């Protein structure tokens, strides 16, 4: 990777610490010698789970999201606890949010959710061999479990019914794996 475009941090100032995120302002030296400021949201990382049954139906959660003032259809997901491995987080979140456990897990890939302002990395996990358990969302989560055939979920993306980025990425990845017979 070329260092031609790298910025060197000169100064960092923490300006906010919440329960989930921190915000800092970095003063950076640009490749041309000028300086600039960058606002950065620090996030501990997260997982999203593409959980699919033997009929190629995907489990979703429907929940209200305050920042966008909408109820969204999303893949089960959650943030990593300090020092937690993505697989452990994914197993916990799938059961907490949906009541399901999976016999088979595969880490598909990881991606930056919004690298223009956040360091969050999201790990996309495939879960198969689903078994019913008991959902126990935390006290601030109000979720509805929804099963959608994969083909329909793909259509819902292009019809604007699924708007969440991690869910769109997860569904398109799962659709690719099914089409390529690569699951």
Task: List, by residue number, the catalytic residues.
Answer: 140
Element (H, E) at 88: helix 86-98
- The C-alpha atoms of residue 73 and residue 62 are separated, in whole angstroms, by 4
- The C-alpha atoms of residue 125 and residue 137 are separated, in whole angstroms, by 19
- The C-alpha atoms of residue 124 and residue 68 are separated, in whole angstroms, by 23
Q: Is 102 exposed, middle or buried (0-12, 13-18, 19+ CB in 10 A)?
A: buried
Listing DSSP states for 48-77 in one string gives EEEEB-TTSEEEEEEEEEGGGTEEEEE--E
């Amino acid at each position: 990777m070329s260092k031609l475009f790298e910025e060197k941090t000169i100064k960092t100032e923490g300006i906010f610490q919440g329960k989930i995120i921190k915000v800092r302002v970095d003063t950076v030296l640009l490749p041309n010698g000028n300086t600039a400021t960058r606002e950065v949201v620090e996030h501990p990382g997260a997982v999203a789970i593409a959980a699919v049954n033997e009929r190629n139906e995907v489990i979703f959660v429907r929940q209200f999201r305050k920042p966008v003032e909408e109820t969204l259809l999303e893949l089960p997901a959650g943030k990593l606890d300090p020092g937690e491995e993505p697989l452990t987080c994914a197993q916990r979140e799938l059961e907490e949010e949906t009541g399901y456990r999976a016999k088979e897990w595969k880490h598909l890939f990881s991606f930056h959710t919004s690298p223009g302002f956040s360091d969050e990395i999201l790990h996309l996990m495939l879960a198969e061999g689903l078994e019913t358990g008991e959902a126990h969302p935390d006290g601030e989560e109000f979720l509805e479990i929804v099963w959608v055939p994969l083909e329909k979920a793909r259509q819902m993306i292009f019809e604007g019914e699924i708007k969440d980025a991690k869910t769109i990425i997860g569904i398109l990845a799962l659709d690719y794996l099914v089409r390529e017979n690569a699951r």
